Amino acid sequence: MDSLIRQIRQRVPMGSLDWNSAIENAFPSLEEQNLLLSEVTKCAKLNPFYAKHIIKNFVEKLERRQRDGDESGLDDALYEKLYELLPSKALDPTATDILGYTMKTSTENCKDDAVVWIRESPRLISGMGTTGMRTWEASLFLSQYLGMVLDGSSEKSGLSEESNRKIFESVRDDFVGKTVLELGCGTGFVGIYMLKRFGSQLKHLIFTDGDTQLIDRMSSNLNLNDLSVDSKKLQVRKLWWGEDDLPMQRVDTIVAADVTYDASVIPDLAEVLDEAMSQDNKVYGRVNVAYIAATIRNEVTIKTWEEYLEMGRQDKIWTWEIIESTKDPVCWKTSLQSTNQLDNIWYPVGVAEIRIYKISRVVERNMTIED
């Protein structure tokens, strides 16, 4: 039942829900039925249409079990909730909902899970001016990768212990005690995930996006996760690539997810990385490394992205490598091409390959890392 609850929190589409884990092995107890009803009641406040279909399918499956001879009881409160939700209509694609992404599961009860809560428009399809209003898959994958590294969970990986240690320590060194800047933060998922799960390990985190509407909405998502926009641990600011300057403060590491969605934005993205790693930021030094997660939706777009990365390599500004991929993962024993679940995060069925690029600044021989 816990797995089903986690899927409902994330609003996994009805056709992808794993009902078997909840009801096939044993008829849910009245306590378990009440737990599902409680979760659906929360969901119904923002998305009654989804809640209606959850209850309807749940009741139908349990009734079928009863017709097959199972004498277990079915809570009347489920029928009452279903009757209440019957008039519900599908939401507009731009309507918002609050989704819960499970960072870390509780061994005792799913109610005690560590969850990132995000207000977003999950039914939204990518379009001009709307890409930052939902959490995209590259944000999930980058967060899970960094979570595994910062948590030191090398035992989950298929690598040898020694290889794990070297790779994980290298990445961990780029975050522990460092100031991190997120480019194109959108809903803020990556930064919120890191602050909520590893806030004590980070020195500071700066959320940036070029869309002022998204910047204004960040306080809502921070509050949902018991974080304050006024916290000294974080900063939220507008950064329009090609127009706004990078913050005049020390930034060690850049993270970004799904910022390579169109070839037209890549020159400005490369310019920001160039500025961060090659231009003198006076006493604040230069950015040392960037971790960019890219979804491979279009081969032309990703080719353009890698061409710009090669230009930076040839100009001796940075080196780059692909350190993780959903197609041929290093840190997971399963591929998102064969399953739609990594740990307790669910991805759309058939999601395109996602790659994580590590871009490291070239340090001149007569220059220290602090220069």
> What residue ranges do the domains of the chain occupy?
2-91, 131-361
| pLDDT tens-digit map of 272-328 | 999 999 887 777 789 999 999 999 989 999 999 999 999 999 999 999 999 999 998
Minimal CA–CA distance to 231: which of 244, 218, 217, 212? 218
3-state secondary structure of 253: strand
CA 294 to chain centre: 13
More reliable by pLDDT, 94 or 46: 46
pTM: 0.91
- Distances in Å between the alpha carbon of 239 and those of 215, 223, 317? 10, 22, 22
Task: Tell me the percentage of the chain whose pLDDT exceeds 70.
Answer: 92
- CATH class entry, domain 131-361: alpha beta
- Distances in Å between the alpha carbon of 297 and those of 122, 187, 321? 18, 21, 19
Give, as one character, the DSSP assignment of residue 259: -
Mean per-residue pLDDT over the chain, rounded? 88
Cα dihedral across residues 226, 227, 228, 229: positive or negative? negative
Q: Residue 360 contacts by C-beta under 8 Å, 6 or more apart in sequence? A: 288, 289, 318, 319, 320
Q: What's residue 285's pLDDT? A: 84
- Residue 220: CB atoms within 10 Å: 15
20: pLDDT confidence band, cut at 50, 70 and 90? confident
| pLDDT tens-digit map of 153-181 | 655 555 556 666 777 888 999 999 999 99
Report the run of H or E that residue 89 belongs to, with start and end.
Answer: none
Task: Tell me the percentage of the chain whose pLDDT exceeds 90.
Answer: 57
| pLDDT tens-digit map of 97-146 | 999 999 988 887 888 889 999 999 887 765 434 566 889 999 999 999 99
Q: Residue 230 contacts by C-beta under 8 Å, 6 or more apart in sequence? A: none
| pLDDT tens-digit map of 191-220 | 999 999 998 999 999 999 998 888 888 999
